[in-house]
Amino acid sequence: MSKAQPLGGTIFTPFFMAMMVLFAISVYFLGVRFTEGMGAVANINGGYPWGIWVVYDVVIGTALACGGYALAITIYLFNKGQYHPLMRAALLASLLGYALGGIGAFIDMGRYWQFYNLLLPWHMNFNAVMLEVGLCVATYILVLVIEFAPAFLERIGATGLLKALNKVLFLFIALGILLPTMHQSSLGSFLVAMGYKVAPLWQTVYFQPVLALLTALCMGFSIVIFEASMSKVAFKLDDETHLLSKLGKIIVGILSVYLVIRFAEILMHGKFGYIFAGDKNSLLFIMETVLFIIPIVILSSQEKRNNPKVLIWAAVSMLFAGSLYRFNAFLLTYDPGPGYSYFPSVSEIMVTVGIVAFEIMAYIVLVKTLPVLHKPKHA
Amino acid sequence: MKGDFTTLEKRLGVSRRDFLKYCTGIAASLGLSTSDAIAMAEAVAKPKKRPVVIWLHGQECTGPTETLLRSEHPTLERLILEMISLEYHQTLDTGAGHQVEHMKELSMKENAGKYLLVVEGAIPTKDGGVYCKIAGKTMLEHTVEAAENAAAIIAFGSCASWGGVQSAYPNPTGAQGTQSVLPGKTVVNIPGCPPNPYNFLATVMHFLTFGSLPELDSQNRPKFAYGRLIHENCERRPHFDAGRFAKEFGDEGHKKGYCLYKLGCKGPETYSNCPAVEFNDIGGGTWPIGVGHPCFGCTEEGVGFTKPLFSLADVKTHTPPNAFPEISDREETSNVTAGAAAVAGAAVGAIVGGAAMAAKKSGSSDARDSQD
């Protein structure tokens, strides 16, 4: 097995500069948010206290950051060592996704200076659905840092520390599987707490956690495919389609289970009619379901799965499906009562775009300076 | 126990049930248990000798007496006037002139060391205290003389507690509170303008039942009543935390019951149980903030009668950031802007475009790979 190496090369490419511009714009709006307040930047209101900073940055952002989680299950739980070359890149993407999700939650917090109280046991509210997610995500970010630490330690040549860490790393890998299982399902449970405000097609009392978890896993596998394909093109790396296409097979399995549960729940509760009601909700549901079915259709066929071009589209469709599922449930079909409406403001969107730009910048810098990806042999 | 209360029913003319309810209510405002309520009931039902009360009036508006007369818990006049022996009170005495002054002197001599002294009103000290005289003697002399042999001294109302409105700048009469003219004595302060009668009654009941005074704070105010900021128990507090403020009298926020902080409410720096006990026993938020007027800090020396009515309070807990989203005026408005829609569309487009590029390049690199 080839060893991961820093890719090297110039960091300040035109693309990188463009990302910096986007990030600078978001820093400006964050400045406004912290000096003049939330109202000056965000369109959130009494009916929609959660805007895109929560729904995209936290709920979708962490699901998109499930690559490390999904691969950890495959590699360590099912002992599929052949995927190991993908692991570090996936962990890095997870770390960045989760860290920025945490920052997103902080930005969105009205009284952010009270944040530390979350970590003080005597201030914890054990009846809060948010507590589990907050603590679990915070812990998982630390676990991801430790899981990713070997790349950094290899780079600085701290072999002694690396050896010591490798001895206990299995504990953190185990935590790295347990924690996302906990909070990704809890992110789904938020919807249970929102009750009747969630549209019937998306509300289910018993299956919210499992639906959230299954889609998060599929999004995790898809982001590994997406990110590996993008890296391959951007950094001219070796083709890893043989590995990625097998991940595609896993997606088909999980996604089928998801769709069966989803539709069984809808049928059992007599909500089938809503799908064909012809209103906004039914349209969004159909869009979402089509996006879920596209990857199943593509990835079921061995030939299509092995074609990197089509594989990307399957992954992208899956990412959009998982994101739309969350956007639908949390925002688009969410009904807090008459009179309320929400659409993110330009400044709000630019903050999220800037956060994603920062994520991409950090990814580029780290893969160029730390041993994360595998350089092509002939290069 | 039932027998004990039948005599009481006759003596006070209240039913046993009403009487126990009253005692439980008083115990509750002191934060005591039901068994203490029974102890109080017994203290009243079996009085050894009703404690003597000497009540002095200085510079004031008789507000504290008025507020006490209006306390509506079962029959104040029957219960309290039967329970204590009010031997001297300028407003309530039937007699007048030398007759009552003589009675007062006799009573103080007879009950030396046992009577309860209540002071109402500030005590002028400038020019020998000539600005308030009763029966030829200054209020200062009356107070010092009565305090000499008092078992306990209660300063009732803001004026008696620290001078109140009389002591406000420029304080032409040198008005002072009871404590400052009685150095070395413990004076229980029950400030308020008017003070809440139940804080007074509860303190007296505590003294009668346990023979001691309730726990006091650094300004000698009973902690059960003045232990917490008004801000902490205020029913408008959620509006403060959410950043919803009335900005002028009669504006929309004011009509909706928003926080009065920006109208100069001194709740954030004033210690009192007003939001919990309220006034006049009619419930429903009958207290200044409850009816839409900012608190002016009457129980707090240095705030009431001192700070301008509409200046912002010095918030002792968290200061409100002017930073919360406005949640009131978002209804019925669609906040989609063309710019936002364009940016959102561009973001989604960029992802799809990026994926398309990657797919295209991926395919071509494969072609190249296969040629290699």
Nearest CA in chain B to A33: B323
Asked if B12 contacts B82 with a C-beta cutoff of 8 angstroms, the reply is yes
* Residue B45 pLDDT exceeds 80: no
Q: Residue A130: which pLDDT band, with cuts at 50, 70 and 90? A: confident
Inter-chain touch A309–B363, beta carbons under 8 Å: yes
Tell which wins on pLDDT, B192 or B337.
Answer: B192
Each residue of B183-199: pLDDT tens digit? 888 899 999 999 988 89
* B105-129 mean pLDDT: 90
Which string of b and e fits B6-30 if b means at least 16 CB within 10 Å?
eebeeebebebeebbebbbbbbebb
Contacts of A230 in chain B (CB under 8 A): 354, 358
Q: What percent of chain B has pLDDT above 70?
A: 87
pLDDT higher than 90, residue A257: yes
Closest CA to A66 of A323, A290, A293: A323
The answer to whether A186 and A133 have CB atoms below 8 angstroms apart is: yes
* B238: preceding bond cis by omega (within 30 degrees): no
* Residue A178 φ then ψ, to 5°: -65, -50
Sign of CA dihedral A216, A222, A227, A230: negative
Best A305, A345, A377, A378 member to test B by mutation, with max B CBs in 10 Å, is A345
pLDDT of residue B258: 92
Interface touch B366/A239, C-beta < 8 Å: yes
Residues of A in contact with B319 (CB under 8 A): none
Is A39 near chain B, with CB under 8 Å?
A: yes
State chain A's mean pLDDT as an integer. 90
pLDDT at site A203: 93
Query: Residue B18 — very low, low, confident or very high, per pLDDT cuts 50/70/90?
Result: confident
Q: What span, in angstroms and rounded, lies between the C-alpha atoms of B95 and A109?
A: 68
CB atoms within 10 A of CB B325: 21
Q: What is the reported pLDDT for A43?
A: 86
Contact B132, B188 (CB under 8 A): no
Higher pLDDT, B315 or B294: B294
Quick one: pLDDT at residue B319?
53
Tell me the pLDDT band of B2, cut-offs 50, 70 and 90: very low
For residue A312, what are the CA distances in angstroms to A226, A309, A356, B267?
6, 6, 20, 62
Angle between helices A280-300 and A308-327 (to 10 degrees): 150
Residue with the bigger pLDDT between B118 and B9: it is B118
pLDDT surpasses 50 at A346: yes
Percentage of residues in chain A having pLDDT higher than 90: 56
- Whether the per-residue pLDDT at A233 is higher than 50: the answer is yes
Per residue in B321-331, pLDDT (tens digit) is: 445 545 444 45
Q: Please, is B44 exposed, middle or buried when counting C-beta atoms within 10 Å of its C-beta (0-12, 13-18, 19+)?
A: buried
Residues in a beta bridge with A373: A5
The two three-digit tokens of residue A107, written as one number: 């930005």
pLDDT at B367: 45
Tokens of A158: 């701290």
Å between B318 CA and nearest CA of chain A: 10
Q: Is the pLDDT of residue B312 over 60?
A: yes
pLDDT tens per residue, range A72-109? 999 888 888 888 888 899 999 999 999 989 999 999 98
Residue A146's CB is within 10 A of a number of other CB atoms, namely 16
Tell me the chain B residues in contact with residue A307 when contact means C-beta distances shorter than 8 Å. 363
Count of alpha carbons within 13 Å of A136, Cβ hemisphere only?
20
| Nearest residue to A350 (alpha-carbon basis) of A5, A32, A15, A1 | A32
Bridge partner residues of B152 (DSSP): B116
Q: Are B178 and B123 in contact (CB under 8 A)?
A: yes
Average pLDDT over every residue of A265-275: 92
pLDDT of A379 reads 46
A230 touching B (Cβ < 8 Å)? yes
Are A226 and B334 an interchain contact pair (Cβ–Cβ within 8 Å)? no
